[in-house]
Structure 1
Amino acid sequence: MQNVDRPKALKPLMEAATALNNPILQKAKGNGKKVVGFLYQETPLEIITAAGAVPYFIRGTGSDGTEYADAFFRNLACNYVRHTYNQILDDQLDFLDGAVFYNSCDHARRIYDNWLTVPGNPVYHFIYIPKKRGDLAKAFYREEIEKYIKATEEKFGVKITDEDLRKAIKLHNETRRLQAELYEMQKGDEVYLKGSELIAVMMAGISMPLEDYNELLKELIAELKAQGPQYKPAIRLLYTGGHADSQEFFELLENQGGQIVVDNLGFGSRSSAVLIDEEKAPLDAIIDYYFDEMPAATRQMHTQDERLDQLGKLVEDYKVDGVISSRIYMCDMWAFEQYLMRGYLAEKGIPGLELEVDYVPDSQGQIRTRVQAFVESLKSQKNL
């Protein structure tokens, strides 16, 4: 890779992704905006936006220990949960005005359970999202979303109207269109962003008001197109996994001679793959999108074929040479996902590398060695 001057719009986006708080979010708070924390993209974020608040992805970015959280969690709990809750107890997320959770996994749910015991906590609602599809499950889901809307209205003293929902859908769809355009720019033999940059730009989208984010995305895309593609990867990699918000980790993957050209992450390529129907009644459109239409999540039962087909399509569309997957220690959900991917990739003849890592990257030498060996094997297959 050559050394290039990076677009100006990239800097604030990277800053938002690599720290818990950022100047753009602080400015919004200063102007009276409320910030609502959430876990994962199955949370209908348009509801938060329709209430006039900013959706914010809760995470443990910047954590250097779990000494506070260890009093609440056993060592068997994944380190994403422990580091995130440690940041909560250390007041690193005290800028949140609200927080909403759902039954994503038992580990993450414990953040909700324990946070409720903290005086003055911002948690105001828990959504029960079915893990199966079907008419009965969807009817239950509608009831849960209606409860979520009511709880959000009560929390912030607002009335969420159909017009508010329509505006929120359009705003989020604008984000999805811009992000999809950015991913489209990664399909050529030469790409515009390093994978570590691309993933950080996507994380920034759940770290600040979307109005600001969309403007920065427009600036970034214009700057990138004016500059032209800057990188021609010898080895094109796809990254997939859970809890992927460590810039250090992605830079470690890319420093070994390969280049991440696309991801298969909930806040990454999957979040911009489908738009919400703007012609339907807004609540119906939101329910249809989150229950039926958005790319399936790992937690959803009987969707493994859909998830694997989606992975295969990304490999084909982005001309990927190899797939790197990682899971956090003690994450059973992603252990099963890696097992499923292993068989699928082998059947399709797609090289894959499985990593088991800490939420805060450790054993860097071991990771570096494994990635380097993987990339070298791919180069050998391509006679490079």
Structure 2
Amino acid sequence: MDNFEMIKNGTLKAKEIKENGGKIAGIFCSFAPVEILDAAGIHIVNLCGTSNESIINSESDLPKNLCPLIKSSYGTAISDKCGYTYLSDIIIGETTCDGKKKMYELLSELKDIHIMQLPQGIDRSYSSLMWEKEVRLLIKILEEKFGIEITEKKLKEATSFRNNFRSLYGELFELSKLEPPAITGFDMYKILEEYKFNFDLKEEYKQLEELINQIKKDYEEGARPVDNKAKRILVTGCPLGGVLDKIVNTIENSGGVVVCFENCEGIKSIRNKVDENTDDIIKAIADRYLNIGCSVMTPNLKRIELLPELIEEFKVDAVIEVVLQTCHSYSVESRTIKKLITDTGIPYMALETDYSESNIGQIKTRIAAFVEIL
């Protein structure tokens, strides 16, 4: 199923939810605490931000030299090309990069947006307390806006379900540890994308579980979708939704296979679970999110710790870092990541790109040459 069809089908489901009195929250980022929204009985949708076509609409308000993800998100919203923004009763934003948080100010003219103030590092004693207060404020905002009560029981139920869900996604990622992998990186990422637009979490869990079992069964019976000579690539850096075909497809058409995504929508988010054995479930939820190794954190120690672990676990032959143009935090951090990877003796390459196809020839040439020397 392509992106257009997924979004179209999801929009129809969202309309049905609204017609039946349901509420929808739009989110942009892995820092949005989904357990809180689940406990509130609010359906969650990841807002659109992967289309190059909507970027031109944003440039009447936003500078041209801004991250394509931000411009695409805003352009999609103001041009009504994504019904999810229109159907959202509230949008949850977060102060990650400067471009996003200022874009939210403009978007707030169209929709009700609640911005969560994210600490810019976790090495201060008060960072955890600050974020915990932000999570508690979100609960208060949702209770007042929707006339509901988010109880401790509901929070614990939501936490347990989300932890199980993350474990299931972990099983999906484990399929790439096999030699050769049981699934291509492109197909895995498409699975991740498809479930962004599914509002029935229990049905999604069931479908994903069945899909994983089917892939395992097919593999045991001899199905090998990946050549055993394919070079095992870890992709790190910015979100890939707008450059998936340009980057991941090219890698896998050039003799490589992406076995691990250390991106926002990849493995680093699902590996963090909420501590359920706690007397303070809200604090435990807050603590879980601060352990996501995003480049907006300074210093970004969690990413530095995770990458060598993933390289060893997934038997990685090389690392490709993807940096979206003008994403300053990832762009500057790439120097640290390059040194980290090369010190392990693993080949590394950084690719800076946007959503357009203007540099697709250059990207393909560079990836093909990089994979060939492996």
Regarding TM over 0.5, the answer is: yes
Change (3 A) 1:20 1:60: farther
Match among 250, 254, 257 for residue 256 of structure 1: 254
Q: Which amino acid aligns with 1:279?
A: N
Matches of 1:334 and 1:343, distance apart in 2: 14
Change (3 A) 1:262 1:361: farther
User: Is residue 189–residue 232 contact of structure 1 (8 Å, CA) maintained in 2?
Assistant: no
SS at match of 1:175: helix
Matches of 1:184 and 1:273, distance apart in 2: 12
SS at match of 2:109: coil
Query: Which residue of the partner structure matches residue 215 of structure 1?
Result: 206
Query: Which residue of the partner structure matches residue 191 of structure 2?
Result: 201
Q: Which amino acid aligns with 1:57?
A: N
Q: Once the two structures are superposed, what CA deviation does each residue of 1:77-126 show, in whole Å capped at 9, x if it has no partner? A: 111111111100111232322201111111111221111223xx2x3311
Change (3 A) 1:271 1:287: same
Match among 348, 352, 368 for residue 372 of structure 1: 368
The answer as to 2:208 corresponding to 1:225 is: no
Match among 117, 122, 141 for residue 128 of structure 1: 117
Matches of 2:102 and 2:183, distance apart in 1: 36
Match among 320, 326, 333 for residue 322 of structure 2: 326
Query: Which residue of the partner structure matches residue 168 of structure 2?
Result: 178
Post-superposition offset of 1:132: 2.2
Stretch moving more, 131-140 or 172-181: 131-140
Q: Once the two structures are superposed, what CA deviation does each residue of 1:110-169 show, in whole Å capped at 9, x if it has no partner? A: 221111223xx2x33111111122332222222211111111222322211111111111
SS at match of 1:186: helix
Matches of 1:40 and 1:65, distance apart in 2: 19
Structure 2: where are the runs of 5+ without partners? none
Query: Which residue of the partner structure matches residue 85 of structure 1?
Result: 74
Query: Which residue of the partner structure matches residue 107 of structure 2?
Result: 115
Query: Which residue of the partner structure matches residue 345 of structure 2?
Result: 349
RMSD: 2.0
Number of residues of Structure 1 aligned to a counterpart in Structure 2: 358
Query: Which residue of the partner structure matches residue 95 of structure 2?
Result: 103
Query: Which residue of the partner structure matches residue 267 of structure 2?
Result: 269
TM-score, normalised to structure 2, is: 0.90
Query: Which residue of the partner structure matches residue 288 of structure 1?
Result: 287
Stretch moving more, 243-252 or 349-358: 243-252
SS at match of 2:370: helix
Q: Which amino acid aligns with 1:108?
A: K
Matches of 1:24 and 1:68, distance apart in 2: 23
Alignment of 1:6-155 (within 5 A): 15=2, 21-24=7-10, 26-27=12-13, 29-31=15-17, 32=20, 33-91=22-80, 92=82, 93-118=85-110, 121=111, 123-133=112-122, 134-155=124-145
Aligned-pair identity in percent equals: 26
Matches of 1:81 and 1:223, distance apart in 2: 37
Q: Which amino acid aligns with 1:266?
A: C
The answer as to 2:284 corresponding to 1:298 is: no
SS at match of 1:42: coil
Q: Which amino acid aligns with 2:57?
A: Y
User: Is residue 200–residue 245 contact of structure 1 (8 Å, CA) maintained in 2?
Assistant: no
